[in-house]
């Protein structure tokens, strides 16, 4: 797994400043939760880490190596989205192994990793199903399985549970916490959900208007919110 460093990251779309001077060091194996109102730049920040969006200014490093101009497939970072984006015509096993398949990995190696990921996520009995024959929660597991199979250097999650009902959200949140413990993986997780943020995060990053308001443990933010905005999000007394 990997350490991620963001130094003075800026992002502009035309004349719109979307991110301003974002500085953040994410330790190897750390679980970072990114929160903030709609439109504040959370998805843009994840997409820049994944390499799906250019960086206007500043530096992004993985394990000390500058990645600004490195293509997504060479960054080795997996992203899990809110919409599962599964291939409808491929069964669960092939969906999970497809990233290895296009890299030319051998069938037996692929099958072993897919089987391990399926076991981890409780999908062992569903590997031959097509996505349309799965529930929402099962589809989200397949999307996570696809990320695990890649054995990436870091995982990015963009509001992965917001399409699920409340009970499933709880179940999947616990699943993600277990996954983090088992893989000891570096994870950056965007959510609107305060409970998800407080229970999953080693540290929470609060973003507003493209500016980092505060970075700290859930307890730090609760006990000493940097401003009213953070206090409101975290629900601490002001
Ligand atoms: P969040 O995920 O926090 O809701 P986003 O990162 O999706 O926010 O968007 C941040 C801001 O950047 C928004 O104002 C959005 O309209 C703008 N934005 C995002 N992508 C583009 C784009 N490709 N072109 C122009 N503006 C964009
Ligand atoms: Mg978003």
pLDDT at 71: 95
What confidence tens digit (pLDDT) does each residue in 163-174 have?
A: 888 888 898 899
Position 129 confidence tier, pLDDT thresholds 50, 70, 90: very high
Instruction: Give me ligand 2 centre to Cα 42, in Å.
Output: 6
pLDDT at 142: 94
pLDDT at 167: 86
Position 156 confidence tier, pLDDT thresholds 50, 70, 90: very high
What confidence tens digit (pLDDT) does each residue in 186-219 have?
A: 999 999 899 999 999 999 999 999 999 999 999 9
Instruction: Give me ligand 1 centre to Cα 94, in Å.
Output: 32
- Which atom, in ligand 1's list, is nearest to the CA of 47? 6
Whether residue 236 is predicted with pLDDT greater than 80 in this model: the reply is no
| Assigned token pair, 17 | 């400043």
CA distance 77 to 3: 12
> For residue 3, what are the contacts with CB-CB under 8 A and spacing of at least 6?
25, 26, 27, 28, 62, 63, 64, 186
Position 56 confidence tier, pLDDT thresholds 50, 70, 90: very high
Q: Which of 8-12, 85-89, 158-162, 234-238 has the highest mean pLDDT?
A: 8-12
pLDDT at 238: 61
Beta strand 65-66 with 203-208: parallel, antiparallel or unpaired? unpaired
Q: Pick the residue whose CA is nearest to atom 1 on ligand 1.
A: 39
Between 212 and 183, whose confidence is greater?
212
Whether residue 73 is predicted with pLDDT greater than 90 in this model: the reply is no
What confidence tens digit (pLDDT) does each residue in 112-121 have?
A: 999 999 998 8
Radius of gyration of the chain (CA): 18
* Residue closest to 41 by CA, chosen among 31, 26, 27, 56: 56
> For residue 100, what are the contacts with CB-CB under 8 A and spacing of at least 6?
109, 110, 113, 149, 150
* Residue closest to 209 by CA, chosen among 35, 19, 53, 6: 19
- Which atom, in ligand 1's list, is nearest to the CA of 42? 3
Question: What are the pocket residues of ligand 1 if the criterion is a CB atom closer than 6 Å to any ligand atom?
Answer: 13, 16, 18, 36, 38-44
Q: Pick the residue whose CA is nearest to atom 22 on ligand 1.
A: 13
């Amino acid at each position: 797994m990997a350490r991620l460093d963001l130094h003075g990251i800026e992002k502009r779309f035309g004349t719109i400043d979307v991110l301003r001077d974002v500085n953040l060091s994410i330790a190897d194996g750390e679980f970072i939760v990114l929160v903030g109102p709609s439109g504040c730049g959370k998805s843009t920040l994840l997409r820049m880490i994944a390499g799906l969006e250019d960086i206007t200014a500043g530096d992004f490093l993985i394990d000390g190596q500058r990645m600004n101009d490195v293509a997504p497939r060479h960054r080795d970072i997996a992203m899990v989205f809110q919409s599962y984006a599964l291939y409808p015509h491929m069964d669960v096993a092939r969906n999970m192994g497809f990233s290895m398949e296009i890299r030319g990995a051998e069938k037996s190696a692929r099958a072993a990793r897919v089987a391990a990921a399926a076991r981890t996520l409780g999908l062992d009995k569903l590997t031959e199903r097509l996505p349309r024959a799965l529930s929402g929660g099962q589809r989200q597991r397949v999307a996570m399985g696809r990320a695990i199979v890649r054995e990436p250097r870091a995982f990015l999650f963009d509001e992965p549970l917001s399409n699920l009902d409340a009970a499933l959200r709880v179940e999947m949140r616990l699943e993600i916490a277990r996954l983090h413990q088992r893989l000891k993986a570096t994870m950056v997780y965007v959510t609107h959900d305060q409970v998800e943020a407080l229970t999953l995060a080693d540290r929470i990053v609060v973003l507003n208007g493209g500016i980092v308001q505060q970075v700290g443990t859930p307890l730090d933010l609760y006990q000493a919110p940097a401003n009213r905005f953070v206090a409101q999000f975290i629900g601490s007394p002001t």
